[in-house]
Amino acid sequence: MKPSEKLALLKQDVELFATATPETPLASLPDWGSLAILLIILHLEEKHRLAVAGSRLRACRTVGDLLDLIP
Amino acid sequence: MHSSLSHLRIAGIAVTTGSVVRDFLADGLAAGLDRAALERTAKTIGLRERRVAAAGVTALDLCADATERLLSEMGLDATSIDAVIFVTQTPDYPQPNNASLLHGRLGLSKSAPAYDLSMGCSGWVYGLHQAALLCAHGGAARVLLCAGDTLSRLTHPGDRSTDPLFGDAGSATIVEKTGRSAPLHFVLGADGLGAEAIRVRQGGARQPSGPLNERTDAEGNRTHDANLVMNGADVFNFTLREVPSALESVMRHAGYAPATTDALVLHQANRFILSTLAKKAGFTEAQTPMAVVEHFGNQSSASLPCALIHGLADRLEAGPLKVVGCGFGVGLSWGAFAGEIGPLTVAPILMFPR
């Protein structure tokens, strides 16, 4: 899947990515925090059948890092 | 592990909460957080108020109050109890256990054994299974199950990912032997490799005391070694992995389907997790009580009986209801159950001290 397709899917599920690009630093997103991580985990599980450890999610610095977790 | 136990019933439940009301929005504003962000979190997670224990009040006090009110409501004498099981991870002392202290406080019979189970959010189901075993196979006719914690004391006020979630409460459940043969079904499991996901490092034999080693995570949340520290992401991954399959398994044993089951009662972690689990298990939100967290906070092992009372009291008193439930959390561990509950006695949710 292309990064643009992954991001479009993510935007459907997680509102805080509405205007994000792959370069956007996660820390710059309003509402970035533990709740956002839960929403991402649910998205990864439901749309990609992926379970990603919390430590790998927390190591992501940009939206692109997050998209790279998805094969 | 699966087991089906028959000739027993849940005869009564009661919950007592802490008496100090904490307001999520007011607390967040006082900590200097943005109102709009707090309101968005409150809506998604379902946080509004929680009730925590007043200074000096412990899980033992809360459970003792719930027990006394329940026995009075049921017209029972404490000496009629054949065993007491106390589920807690915030006991009064390392020794003796809370069950023994409660045994003495209530004046239970010397022939009644009293022991603790060290379990958290899944613990009410483990205690129910234990009480059911004593009734089905252990020669007890009436077992008192107490389950409760004061987890709000263990979180760091600077840990915004955990501190706003927890309320303090104690529950009492009476399980009795009966002639009714319809079984209660249980599916219990554990994932010890996930033990680090929820932990309190200091206070046990491995690290009894010493420097608290305060640290700050990437999001600015502060914790130290004597705090309850939760890796919310890993706990949520675990919940998504294990709870739907445990529910499916216990419903298969019971021969239940979501459409013909009256209620799905889950450990009240937060509204977001509960609505996700209900959807995955094929239940509607109307079948799934999920308002305990916004009124009382996450009450650890007391949250399941609190959800039964808060969401279903009238229907349980009239009973029977076909109920499926699951507790899940620290360990990591989970316990699912399915069966008919009610008619039973319900004592209302009250604060202590009043």
- The helix or strand, by DSSP H or E, that contains position B11, with its residue range, turns out to be strand B8-17
Per-position pLDDT tens, chain B of length 354: 999 999 999 999 999 999 999 999 999 999 888 898 899 889 888 899 999 999 999 999 999 999 999 999 999 999 999 999 999 999 999 999 999 999 999 999 999 999 999 999 999 999 999 999 999 988 899 999 999 999 999 999 999 889 999 999 999 999 999 988 789 999 999 999 999 999 999 999 999 999 999 999 877 899 999 999 999 999 999 999 999 999 999 999 999 999 999 999 999 999 999 999 999 999 999 999 999 999 999 999 999 999 999 999 999 999 899 999 999 999 999 999 999 999 999 999 999 999
Peptide bond into B353 cis (omega under 30): yes
Q: Does B191 touch chain A (CB under 8 A)?
A: no
Q: For A3-45, what is each residue's pLDDT tens digit?
A: 899 999 999 999 889 999 999 999 998 888 888 899 999 999 9
**Cβ-Cβ contacts under 8 Å, B272 against chain A:** 35, 38
Q: What per-residue string of b and e applies to B187-201 under the rule 16 or more CB within 10 Å gives b?
A: bbbeeeebeebbebb
Helix, strand, coil percent content, chain B, rounded in steps of 5: 40, 25, 35
Asked if A54 and B234 come within 8 Å (Cβ–Cβ), the reply is yes
Asked if B272 and A38 come within 8 Å (Cβ–Cβ), the reply is yes
β-strand B321-329 against B263-266: which pairing, if any?
parallel
Taking residue A4's Cβ as centre, other Cβ atoms within 10 Å add up to 11
The answer to whether the Cα torsion of B297, B300, B302, B305 is positive or negative is positive
Which candidate, B163, B190, B189, B146, places its Cα nearest to that of B301?
B146
Q: Does B40 touch chain A (CB under 8 A)?
A: yes
pLDDT of residue A68: 94
**Cβ-Cβ contacts under 8 Å, B233 against chain A:** 34, 37-38, 41, 53-54, 57-58
Q: Tell me how far apart the alpha carbons of residues B214 and B158 are, in angstroms, rounded to a whole number.
A: 11
pLDDT of residue B33: 86
Helix B123-137 × helix B303-318 angle, to 10°: 60
Q: Tell me how far apart the alpha carbons of residues B68 and B88 are, in angstroms, rounded to a whole number.
A: 18
Complex-level ipTM beyond the 0.95 threshold: no
pTM of the predicted model, to two decimals? 0.96
Q: Tell me how far apart the alpha carbons of residues B322 and B254 are, in angstroms, rounded to a whole number.
A: 10
Which candidate, B59, B112, B104, B107, places its Cα nearest to that of B86?
B59
Interface of B with A in 273-292 (CB under 8 A): 273, 276
Q: Tell me how far apart the alpha carbons of residues B160 and B268 are, in angstroms, rounded to a whole number.
A: 19
